[in-house]
Amino acid sequence: MKFTSPSQIEVLVQIKTHPFQATSFYLNTDKSQQPLKAINAAYKALLNQARLEVEQKNLPKEVKKSLSDDLEKISQFCTQRLNSWKAPGLALFSCSGQNFWQELELPHGPRNRIVQDFDFYTRPLSAILEKFKKLCAFLIKRKEARWYEIYMGEIRLLDSLTSDVPKKVKMGGFEGYESKRIERHIEAHLLEHFKKSAQKTFEILKQNHFDWLFVGCDDQFYPQLEPLFHSYVKEKLKGRIKARPGTEESKILKECLELEEKLKKKEEEELVKKFVSELERGGRAVSGLSDTLRKINSYEVQNLLITHNFSKPGKVCPQCHALYLNEDLCPSCQVKTELTADIVDEAIELALNKNIPVFQITPPSRLEHYGNIGAFLKYKSQ
């Protein structure tokens, strides 16, 4: 099943796994970023690690069996299905003891991980929802206008409008007063059509809480159309597309997603640029894993920038939950730290719990030259 709406998260949150536990599995299956061989190696490593952890857990026999069965089912699923898996991400949720199993195709590659706990782990799903913009495509030509919603890789027709605009008369022949009059008559109809469409665009944007608007309209009409947009519409307007009323939905979708990707990439680049210049002038920014973790521990981070899917092992203090790259002893508690397979993941988790925004930057970017991680700080770095 495709992951397309918050209601799917709700379903998972509602599932009661007691007295058993829940297994949540996330895999980046984006074959444009990595070969199938690497994807296979990644899921096998995750499963092996999880099997070891289940063995070490101090749980009743039947709870352990349910967790092991989950891992077995996930393993079988991956063996049979990854070859032909098309979506860039996969999420599996299993509780064998309760006979629950759910697979989701994700529109974006998540961080690889398995979480076995009392409840299903759905934060990566919420993160994907936040990442996707809700787009409106407004397509218009002489007589027709259409509005589409594009969200989570899906397209849906919202509304359409047909106006009675007379055909353009052929010039020539009886040029003069009569044809000029007809021409003005047509222009008035056309303007009326644009006005109605612009007003409807405003209503649709307001009702559906869109993030961005894309407009498909001929260059010859655009100068007449644009001034008719409400200032709220102008704020949402992010670009023009080639699609027109009548263009196949799959083509509209493809064009909108490409433009969305381009605009998001630009936003990311601007953010990284701002980050680098802050860093270079010795302002309120920090880079590199070790220093960034230090600033997270001391509550100085304003927001976090991480290269998408960057991961590193590290240490966590079991007492104060501070994060370290390689401290064996927590400097503040003098307690022995515990090894964790992915300290970056722990950092993201901690940041989100404290409501610190986390920006995952798609590589390649300049962030890679700064250790793949950094943060804007609340105060100037010491």
> Which residue ranges make up the site for Zn ion (CB under 5 A)?
317, 319-320, 322, 330, 333
Name the burial class of residue 53, with classes exposed (0-12), middle (13-18) and buried (19+) by CB atoms within 10 angstroms of its CB.
middle
CB of 333 to Zn ion, least distance (A): 3
**Cβ closest to Zn ion, residue 52 vs residue 320:** 320
Would you state the torsion angle of the CA atoms of residues 47, 52, 58, 64, taken in this order, to the nearest 10 degrees? Answer: 40
- Return the closest-CA partner of residue 295 out of 255, 350, 219: 350
**Cβ closest to Zn ion, residue 263 vs residue 333:** 333
Taking 3-state DSSP, the helix, strand and coil percentages for the chain, each rounded to the nearest 5, stand at 45, 25, 35
**Cβ closest to Zn ion, residue 276 vs residue 301:** 301
- What is the 3 state secondary structure string of 348-369? HHHHHHCCCCEEEECCCCHHHH
**Cβ closest to Zn ion, residue 239 vs residue 318:** 318
Query: Is residue 138 within 8 Å of residue 145, measured between CB atoms?
Result: yes
**Cβ closest to Zn ion, residue 253 vs residue 296:** 296
Distance CA 312, CA 328 (A): 16
**Cβ closest to Zn ion, residue 285 vs residue 322:** 322
In the chain, the amino acid numbered 259 is L
**Cβ closest to Zn ion, residue 306 vs residue 322:** 322
Q: What separation in angstroms does the CA of 82 have from each of 43, 111, 196?
A: 10, 17, 49
**Cβ closest to Zn ion, residue 142 vs residue 315:** 315
Distance CA 273, CA 30 (A): 27
Name the burial class of residue 205, with classes exposed (0-12), middle (13-18) and buried (19+) by CB atoms within 10 angstroms of its CB.
buried
Name the burial class of residue 282, with classes exposed (0-12), middle (13-18) and buried (19+) by CB atoms within 10 angstroms of its CB.
exposed
Helices (H), the chain: 6-14, 36-56, 61-81, 123-131, 177-208, 222-225, 231-236, 249-280, 289-297, 343-353
